[in-house]
Amino acid sequence: MIDQVRIRPERAADVERIDALTRLAFDGREVEVDMITRIRASADFIPELSLVAEAGDQLVGHCLLARKTLRGKVMPPVLQLGPLGVHPAWQRQGIGGRLVVEAQRLARLRGAEPLIVLVGIPAYYPRFGFTGAMTFGVGPDMPAAMAYPLVDEVPDYRGTSIPLG
């Protein structure tokens, strides 16, 4: 089934379907849907970094990277990954991983930000090269705070932190 899945940037016509998918992926919660809505309405939204996974005409996954200014000392913005959602019937088939890898590839090509940061499941994201955010000086110092470098020479972000709200 995974070979039927195609990854592409979100289109305006996808918004309601992404909202519905996100609700399913996150057990009916609205928090993640509201987060996506706020990001889309902000200057930090980067349309080409909001990706969907399709199988035929069915939307089966969504991944979003948006510009984020870290708290603390003034530093170049980074990208924040999330939410990442996969339709429950399509989970555990590699779709989330394909979305993350494509998002990383596009972000690297973009060349505008030095890091991708996230607060997520510590057992999931290291397989895609994410390490503890503190490796780059980014807090909070907790297992769920992770980062992925997009450049060889990452600036010293010591004294910054990922906003958790």
Per-residue pLDDT tens over the stretch 31-65:
999 999 999 999 999 999 999 999 999 999 999 99
| Boundaries of domain holding 148 | 2-161
Mean local confidence (pLDDT), 115-144: 96
Structural domain count of the chain: 1
Two structure tokens written together for 39: 């990001």
d(CA 73, CA 8): 35
Residue 69 maps to which CATH number? Answer: 3.40.630.30
Phi, psi of 116 (to 5 degrees): -110, 130
